[in-house]
Chain A
């Protein structure tokens, strides 16, 4: 398990300039090809020599994949648009501020300057056993090192575990689910548009992947529909440090409130499971109710049903309960504030 961190193993590098050329390369090399956007997740794997693709397809020269434009009453964000560009975009800030808040909560300014929105939603889990090259289920082995009586697992899953207890670490993903974003995927058979929450998959579906992309597939854009623009948003990320830190958990909600009652709501949360969770049952339970502390508390209790703690992550259960509560009922001011 010793890891050599001197140089990356050799690979063939392609820098296509169009989506069509990219698709041809991905079609030609399939399992042997690694798609690279900002490289922040990619280079960890390559430098640690844990993933050894024969071919790297670098998306940085594909102009069509980058940039934000107005489309269909909403916005279309190219997959290789940097997180910083997303955060700073005036329409994102004005109408989809939950996404700018979520994306801005990710990592550090330097990482956001380089990291892309497509990479952020497609990034691999940060389970430190898996990422250190331990031969676990997700790596194709037959055990989970993070779910043992002696494992160090404060950052791992409380929900949706199936052999693997890793979590999805993306801060933009729950915001995109709350906005009912659509992910545009090019496959060898043509274009597919999927709901944000359906882009992500858990270990029960495929233990080696975090999303629906198969070899040969490319995420080209993320569409934000007009439906949830400018609604009442809540985003909160809990982490150990105030910057440069993955989430212990985050939550995102979009609500439409009519006559003091929740008319429409979308609620999502990440770092609780291997995929960002859309909390549809909670949405159903709070629709028609007042967005207050009592509704929030009921929602929080409902949200954590079925949660199971590992050795060191029991705190995630009250954390999830409280974040869901706040995403619906808001934050109560401290008595002395």
Chain B
């Protein structure tokens, strides 16, 4: 189906969009692609059935491609537009007048409002899944520490992700690197500061909380994906939202630890104060796991 012929409707309930899962928990790609697959299978099944009804043979004899449904190995067929017209004439499940029993009540409302306008594919994702679905990221970082000032630079950075099938490389790269930067931020600066006696916030302004700036992002920052399809979903893809955060943070802290030794810090973020004070004293000078300072 050429892209130009697809109409995408973004979050507009006035246009009877069906119920969708929220974007969260790094589950979006996994959940959305399964549901999209289920509904696409329903569309194909209905097209095959309509073709078989009109042109003879069994539904399995038909395949869907090039905007048509046609008999496998050549033979009669019809365009998707023709099939849609037939779906309206046939009614019932084909144009949404009859709906599956297992779908969400919001989907029922959407599908009911859209019924009778063409071939309507409606399905619930009931593919099996064994256990939970998570992505993994192995992150590597190299840092260069200035022992006289306590400042350091991230000279090399690579996040390698295991996210199943890669659906959209650019979007995946954006997720992996963007979220890695959040993790880097936790290692190199981001904090909330409270006065411990009065319990009042001291970091009140945005710049006090020190999110990483564009100049703190490593220049040499790469990502890659192993690309092994996940057997627990028909699409093979998993989500990647949060996993790079932990990797980004831990890789920087581990690299710093490797550069400085284990006796310099036991908390994050790590800045000049932590590094210089500990190096000067020859022992960790900040309590482990204390609040941000």
- Chain A: residues with CB nearer than 8 A to chain B? 1, 44, 108, 128-129, 132, 145, 148, 150-152, 154, 236, 238-245, 248, 312-315, 317-319, 322-323, 325-326, 331, 334
Contacts and interface: CB of A to CB of B under 8 A. Distances in A.
A145 B277 CA distance: 22
Interface in B250-293: 269, 271-277, 279-281, 285, 293
Nearest to B217: A242
A240 B213 contact: no
A323 B146 CA distance: 12
A315 B273 contact: yes
Contact of A1 (B197, B200, B280, B281): B200
A49 to B, nearest CB: 14
Contact of A154 (B196, B273, B281): B273
Contacts of A129: 195, 202
Contacts of A312: 273, 293
A1 B281 CA distance: 37
A150 B271 contact: no
Contacts of B198: 145
Given A129-B195, A240-B269, A248-B272, 6 more contacts: A150-B197, A152-B293, A314-B280, A315-B150, A315-B273, A315-B280
A315 B277 contact: yes
Contacts of A326: 148
A96 B276 CA distance: 31
B195 A238 contact: no
B197 A148 contact: yes
Given A312-B273, A318-B279, A241 B215 contact: yes
B91 interface: no
Interface centre among B149, B271, B273 (most CB of A within 10 A): B149
B149 to A, nearest CB: 5
Contacts of A132: 200, 202, 204
A189 B202 CA distance: 41
A245 B269 CA distance: 15
21 contacts: A1-B200, A108-B213, A129-B195, A145-B195, A150-B195, A150-B196, A150-B197, A152-B293, A154-B273, A240-B188, A240-B189, A241-B189, A241-B210, A241-B213, A243-B214, A315-B272, A315-B275, A317-B280, A319-B150, A325-B148, A334-B144
